[in-house]
Chains A and B, each alone.
Chain A
């Protein structure tokens, strides 16, 4: 039998610790495939966050940093400035990037750091057990919003892609989803485009990936996909929010 489907070279053989139905595995694979297809695996340096993907440094088969909570864009800045020929990416969740690390992501973007951020948004803190995130939707029940997120008390969810797209240093920003095969393929295109933007030296690039958390949402993986489509897509519209790669053509 010919082998027609293999693990990308960008992933190690380490078994991941992710829950059944979690979409981190898909997003890891997309990043690894893109690094391989662009031929940059050998000069890629990743920065892992704190959160569910804290162990990403064991899964990506390139050199990787494990950063403090929220600080990945600052760490990536140091890496890229010291090694400008490398291809640097951060892989961050919504708690890490949009709460404790808001200053770091905004300033890395506005400086136009030639790095790529893969931002996984599942509207909840996963690793700590399902607390309200800055991206938790109004009315959404979590451990720390047991009556549903009340915007009078807890404020509103942050639309990170739209916010980052207002910054002049941000060159490519797109929001994608991994709720269907079609959207997974689109997500891969976006991630590829974001890395190309970095390699061409145009500026900062970010891809927000809407993802699911069956464990902490209390839903089956299939129900979670439906919930993402019904609730997240209306609040977090998909699409390209910023594209300087076209301007430079």
Chain B
């Protein structure tokens, strides 16, 4: 057992990345994740590793493209408007199949939006914010400890599948402090990066990092290869937590991240009113854990209630997973407002007592 330390979410990400052997960080300041860059600016030089403050998010993600292409383990971090700017680069990284980790501490939008916690970038993260047919694994921890634990896993998945991965938190997770323990985990076996552009050093064939295929048949073949990879990720890397789901419930709540923590309180509060609730908590947003719904579909009387800090984004994936077999309702707050347990419970009661969908 390691030692528990009290850390701010953003700083804990930095420490976890260092311990996961992240060699380079490139970033650009944006609230509410800037403390992460400040932490790494302090720590990385001491370890003889790379920290560069880029001139923009556009430059930062292209520095990631360059450093990842040499085979180094690399990370960047931003928040919603910055991720929009990075989306071009993320598409190139997905196309050229480069492993990297992108931290996204989501804030309210659209536009410049607010700096308060939000989950309104679910579509951008899971459906591909950039152009072209691609997906990337998206992790949505609900505590700082879980975020820390997932950092190394996300780096390993990135290397294993040659894919960008995103760690998606919200302003709440980024800014709050919690005790965390850095547990040394056994890394997954990842293949050697013989594709990396490192300089020839005697190698006969030159390595090219590229996403351009001018011949449409070559481009389709590359897409077929990518889709095959995405299928493997969907089959093997989906993660979720089921909370109070091993019983027959009146209703199942579906929520992730900070919202899921709030909903756990709602479940306790509901028991006092004689209402039995379960929680389906996706830990990966892509691949979406459809298996969690197969396990709970027969154990809910009134169906599912999806709770998000958005106008209703993940709820579309819940409906696809449930596929009409149960009612799926939605409750959300927007623009940086955090749902209150009382209001969520009120929505639960509406569904149960008044049949409101």
Contacts and interface: CB of A to CB of B under 8 A. Distances in A.
Interface in A34-73: 41-45, 47, 54-55, 57-58, 60-68, 71
B242 interface: no
Contacts of A62: 199-200, 206
Contacts of B96: 66
A47 B58 CA distance: 17
Interface of A: 12, 41-45, 47, 54-55, 57-58, 60-68, 71, 74-83, 86-87, 103-104, 106-107, 111
B65 A82 contact: no
Contacts of B71: 82
Interface in B198-252: 198-202, 206-212
Given A74-B54, A75-B62, A82 B23 contact: yes
B67 A68 contact: no
B212 A66 contact: yes
B59 A79 contact: no
B69 A65 contact: yes
A78 B70 CA distance: 9
Interface in B71-88: 71-72, 74, 88
B70 A41 contact: no
B152 to A, nearest CB: 20
B322 interface: no
Nearest to B210: A66
B210 A79 contact: no
Given A63-B207, A71-B59, A82-B23, A42 B200 contact: yes
B330 interface: no
Contacts of A68: 62, 65, 88-89, 92
B68 A78 contact: yes
Contacts of B210: 57, 65-66
A82 B66 contact: yes
Chain B interface mostly helix, strand, loop or mixed? mixed
17 contacts: A44-B199, A62-B200, A64-B197, A68-B89, A68-B92, A74-B62, A74-B66, A77-B59, A78-B62, A78-B64, A78-B65, A79-B70, A81-B24, A86-B198, A87-B199, A103-B58, A106-B55
Contacts of A41: 200
Given A77-B59, A83-B70, 10 more contacts: A43-B200, A45-B70, A65-B210, A74-B54, A74-B62, A74-B66, A75-B69, A78-B70, A83-B72, A103-B55
B163 to A, nearest CB: 18
A74 B67 contact: no
B288 interface: no
Contact of B201 (A12, A43, A60, A64): A43
Interface string B37-75: 000000000000010101110111011111111111010
B26 interface: yes
Contacts of A61: 206
A87 B26 CA distance: 20
B70 A82 contact: yes
Contacts of A63: 197-200, 206-208
Nearest to B69: A65
B56 to A, nearest CB: 6
Contacts of A106: 55
A79 B197 contact: yes
A82 B98 CA distance: 14
A207 to B, nearest CB: 21
A42 to B, nearest CB: 5
Contacts of A12: 206
Interface string B8-20: 0000000000000
Given A63-B208, A81-B50, A74 B200 contact: no
Which of B54, B72, B197 has the largest number of chain A CB atoms within 10 A? Answer: B197
B89 A78 contact: no
Contacts of A67: 62, 65
Nearest to A43: B199
Contact of B66 (A77, A87, A111): A77
B232 to A, nearest CB: 26
A231 to B, nearest CB: 33
A81 B200 contact: no
A118 B24 CA distance: 26
Contacts of B72: 82-83
Nearest to B60: A74
A-B pairs with lowest CB-CB distance, top 10: A78-B66, A74-B62, A78-B63, A78-B67, A63-B197, A75-B66, A107-B55, A82-B67, A43-B199, A71-B62
Contacts of A54: 212
Nearest to B212: A66
Contacts of A43: 199-201
A110 to B, nearest CB: 9
Contacts of B50: 81-82
B76 to A, nearest CB: 10
Nearest to B65: A75
A179 B54 CA distance: 37
Contacts of B24: 78, 81-82
Which of A60, A74, A111 has the largest number of chain B CB atoms within 10 A? Answer: A74
B198 A42 contact: no
A215 to B, nearest CB: 18
B66 A76 contact: yes
